[in-house]
Structure 1
Amino acid sequence: MPTPAVVATGLRKVYGRGPTEVHALRDVDLTIHKGQLTAIMGPSGSGKSSLMHCLAGLDRPSAGTVTVEGTDLTGLDERRRTDLRRDRIGFVFQQYNLLPELSGRDNVLLPLEIAGRRTDRAWFDRIVAALGIGPHLDRRPTELSGGQQQRIAIARALITRPAVVFADEPTGNLDSAASRDVLELLRRSTGSLGRTVVVVTHDPVAAGYADRVVLLADGRVAGELHGSTSQDIAVEPEKLAG
C-alpha cells in the first residue's frame, strides 16, 4: 500500500457568516501518497485553492484535520505551523517569487538561510543536476527566461527536502515548450529525487503528467482519474461544471 504524505479528514472551510457565508470545502477526505505527483482540478469556484491552502498549512480549516507525515497541522499554534511549513513543505508559484537582487544560487539557498540551516552540498548538487540549472546559478532572475526562473523556483522548493511540494498553477506564465520542461521536472522530482508533489491546475496538459488527478466540484471530491490522457482529462471539469 502507498505510504501517506498528507491526509485530510472531514475538511471544511467556510468564509463569512450569515447571508454572505460561503462553503468552500465540504467534508473533504483525501490522502496524498508519498512519491507521487497528484493533480487537483475542478471548475472555477470548486475549492481548489482553499484545499491547497489548508493542506499546506497556509490557512486553517473550519473543521476537520490535516496531517503531514503524521503531524496534525490543525493542532499546531501559528509559530509551530510556520516552522513546519518552512521545514517540511515546499512551494512553487505561478509568479516564481524569486528575489531579483539575488543570484539563482542564493535564491535556491534562501530557505536554508532563513531557517539557519547548513547546506547539504550533496543534496544541492543532486538538485542542480536533476533540474539542469547549473548554468543559471550565477545569474539574476532578470537575466533568465520564465522557464529558467521556474526551474530555480522548483530547486528552492526542494532544497529543504520537504515532505511535499505544492505547485500552484506552475505553468500559468510559460509558453508550451517551457511548460513541458517544468512539468517534466516536477515529474522527475517524484522519481529521481523521491519527492511528493501536488499540482493545483486548470490545465489538462499539466494534469496529464500526474499519477492521479483529483476532481473537485462544489467543495467536494467528485472523482479521480488514473493514467488518463490530457484529452480525457480536459472534458472532466466541464462535466462537473455542467
Structure 2
Amino acid sequence: MEPYLRSVSRVTATVSKPQQIAARAVDVTKHYGMGEAQVAALRGVNVEILGGEFTAIMGPSGSGKSTLMHCLAGLDHVTSGEVYVGDAQVNGMSDKELTKLRRGHIGFIFQQFNLIPTLTAEENILLPLKIAGGTPSKDWFDRVIDTVGLAGRLRHRPTELSGGQQQRVACARALMAQPDVIFADEPTGNLDSTSGAEVLKFLQHSARSLGQTIVMVTHDPVAAAYSDRVIFLADGQIVDEITEPTAEAVLAMMGKIDAQARVA
C-alpha cells in the first residue's frame, strides 16, 4: 500500500476548515456563437465555493459543468456577470493579470496529465513554481511528496511511471504552489478504477488534512462521492446540490435530472 494511502485511512473530517469563499460566480452567463446559432452554455449561475472544501460539479453532457469551471478559473471569458477568486474579480482582467492570477492563486489538474516527457517527476512538479520565480520550503515539499506517495519516484520520467503515478505528479504540481483553489477537470478520466481511487483519495486528503480548496468536474457518481459537496447543473443552470454525498445519492439525483429533461 502506498504511504499516502495509509495516511488517508487515518484522516477524519475533524480538521477545522476555513469558511471564507475561495471562488464565486455572480449571475454568470456564457454564450457561444452569434445570432440564430448562439448557444447559452450558462444561464444566470450563482455559486459560492467555500475554502477548504472539495466540491464536485456534475450534470448531463452539455449542461455547462466544464464551462462553469473554466469561467471560475479564468480560462474562459463570461458573457455577463462576475467571477471572483478570493477577493479578486477575474472577469475584466488583462491577459497579464490573468497569467499572474493563475500562477499565484490557481492550480490545475486535467484529464491529460500534461507532463513534460524529458523532465523527471520532481522537475515536472516544481516547473510552474520555478517559472513563477518561487521555491517551496523543504517542509512543504516533503509534506506534498509524502502525501502523494512519490518519494521513490522523483527521479523517474513520465514514461517510467504508471498512469496513476503520472496523475499524482500532476496533483503534486498543482498543490506545490499552495494555490487558493485547485480546479480538476475529469482528473480520473484516463485512469483505471484502482489508480482513479488513489487520485481521488489524494484530493479528498488534500482538502480534509491540508485545507486545500478543490473544484472537480466529473461525470462519475463514485468519483463525486469523494467530495464534500456536489453541485448539479442542467441546461446551463444549477438545479440542486448534495452535501456529504454517497454514490447512490448522486446517481439518484442524476436520474432525477435526466427524467426531468425528458419530460421537458
User: Shared topology, TM-score over 0.5?
Assistant: yes
Residues 43 and 238 in structure 1, CA contact (< 8 A), matched pair in contact too: no
Aligned to 1:146: 163
Q: Which one of 52, 63, 76 corresponds to residue 69 of structure 2?
A: 52
Per-residue CA deviation, residues 53-92 of structure 1 (Å, 9 max, x unaligned), is: 1000001100011111100011311110111011100001
Aligned to 1:189: 206
Percent identical pairs in the alignment equals 51
Q: Which sections of structure 1, spanning at least 5 residues, go unmatched? A: none
Please tell me the residue identity of whatever aligns with 2:103: R
Deviation at 1:193, TM superposition (A): 1.7
Alignment partner of 1:14 is 2:31: yes
Aligned to 1:27: 44
**TM-score in terms of structure 1 length:** 0.97
Per-residue CA deviation, residues 112-134 of structure 1 (Å, 9 max, x unaligned), is: 11112223222111101111111
State how far apart, in whole Å, the 1-side matches of 2:94 and 2:185 are.
25
Aligned to 1:200: 217
Secondary structure in structure 2 of the residue aligned to 1:135: coil
Q: Which one of 154, 159, 171 corresponds to residue 137 of structure 1?
A: 154
Structural RMSD (CA):
1.1
Per-residue CA deviation, residues 198-236 of structure 1 (Å, 9 max, x unaligned), is: 110000001001110000000000000112210121132
State how far apart, in whole Å, the 2-side matches of 1:234 and 1:21 are.
31
Residues 127 and 158 in structure 1, CA contact (< 8 A), matched pair in contact too: yes
Matched residues, number: 242
Per-residue CA deviation, residues 129-166 of structure 1 (Å, 9 max, x unaligned), is: 11111111110000000000011000000111100001
Please tell me the residue identity of whatever aligns with 1:164: V
Deviation at 1:237, TM superposition (A): 2.2
State how far apart, in whole Å, the 2-side matches of 1:120 and 1:84 are.
21
Secondary structure in structure 1 of the residue aligned to 2:172: helix
Alignment partner of 1:216 is 2:204: no
State how far apart, in whole Å, the 1-side matches of 2:212 and 2:104 are.
14
Aligned to 1:40: 57
Please tell me the residue identity of whatever aligns with 1:47: G
Aligned to 2:94: 77
State how far apart, in whole Å, the 1-side matches of 2:58 and 2:73 are.
16
Please tell me the residue identity of whatever aligns with 1:58: L
